[in-house]
């Protein structure tokens, strides 16, 4: 709460919350709206989100009186990517899946961040190995990236939501462990890791979309080549 209060006081309208409406994001939205009604909130609308996420957006807007900004990909980049690789390119190869994430999520996020001095996300250190060293605040590319719940546990998140009666994404009730794009996320079985439902057809490698974890050198070079085919520089 203190970190959010600091960001709201220091940056005002140049601070925003980025959320896909998972539990962690809803904790942050709930806290921030109590500190500063009308706080800026945006989501990355990939064009492949489940219908339940649209329902969740309406629930959040009604509950907190905020307008959720839907940040979308460049339609020309999406069209060229789909024309070259197909609509479901993410199934064919991990590098193409990363390309899809980059075009639909990372590049739109980068453009949105240009007008901000700070942003908050719902990362927690115990979510997976890649996030184990997540700092609560870090300065990246000239702006602050805040992870107010970095040291929270899953139990703490669930207890907060219950205590404050915050909205929960409808897909949790259907067995989903995380919320992502419709074709790339499935429910998890009892005992499975919460993130096992993401890109489950990929047996090895980094199960991240790329907005929080940078690709390794080899994949980054491959991604650059793929981007050159569809991005107008």
User: Which residues are tagged catalytic?
Assistant: 209
Q: What is the 3-state secondary structure (H, E, C) of 41-100?
A: EEEEECCCCCHHHHHHHHHHHHHHCCCEEEEECCHHHHHHHHHHHCCCHHHCCHHHHHHH
In this structure, are residues 152 and 122 in contact, taking their beta carbons and an 8 Å threshold? no
Task: Report the alpha-carbon distance of residue 11 to residue 212 in Å, rounded.
Answer: 22
**Does residue 191 come out as left (phi exceeding 0), alpha (psi in the -120 to 50 range) or beta?**
left
Q: How many CA atoms lie less than 13 Å away from 96 in the CB half-sphere?
A: 13
């Amino acid at each position: 709460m203190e970190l959010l209060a600091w960001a709201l006081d220091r940056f005002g309208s140049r601070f925003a919350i980025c959320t896909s409406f998972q539990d962690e994001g809803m904790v942050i939205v709930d806290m921030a709206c109590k500190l500063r009604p009308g706080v800026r909130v945006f989501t990355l609308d990939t064009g492949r989100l489940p219908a339940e996420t649209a329902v969740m957006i309406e629930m959040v807007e009604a509950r907190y009186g905020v307008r959720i900004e839907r940040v979308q990909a460049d339609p020309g980049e999406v069209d060229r990517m789909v024309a070259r690789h197909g609509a479901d390119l993410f199934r064919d190869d991990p590098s193409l899946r990363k390309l899809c994430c980059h075009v639909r999520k990372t590049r739109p996020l980068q453009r949105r961040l240009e007008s901000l001095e700070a942003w908050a996300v719902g990362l927690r250190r115990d979510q997976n190995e890649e996030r184990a060293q997540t700092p609560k605040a870090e300065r990246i590319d000239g702006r602050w990236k805040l992870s107010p719940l970095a040291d929270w546990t899953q139990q703490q998140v669930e207890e907060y939501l219950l205590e404050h009666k915050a909205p929960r994404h409808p897909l949790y009730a259907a067995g989903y462990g995380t919320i992502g794009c419709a074709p790339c996320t499935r429910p998890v079985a009892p005992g499975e890791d919460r993130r096992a439902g993401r890109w489950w057809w990929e047996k090895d490698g980094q199960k991240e979309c790329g907005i929080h974890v940078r690709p390794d050198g080899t994949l980054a070079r491959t991604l650059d080549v793929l981007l050159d085919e569809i991005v107008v520089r």
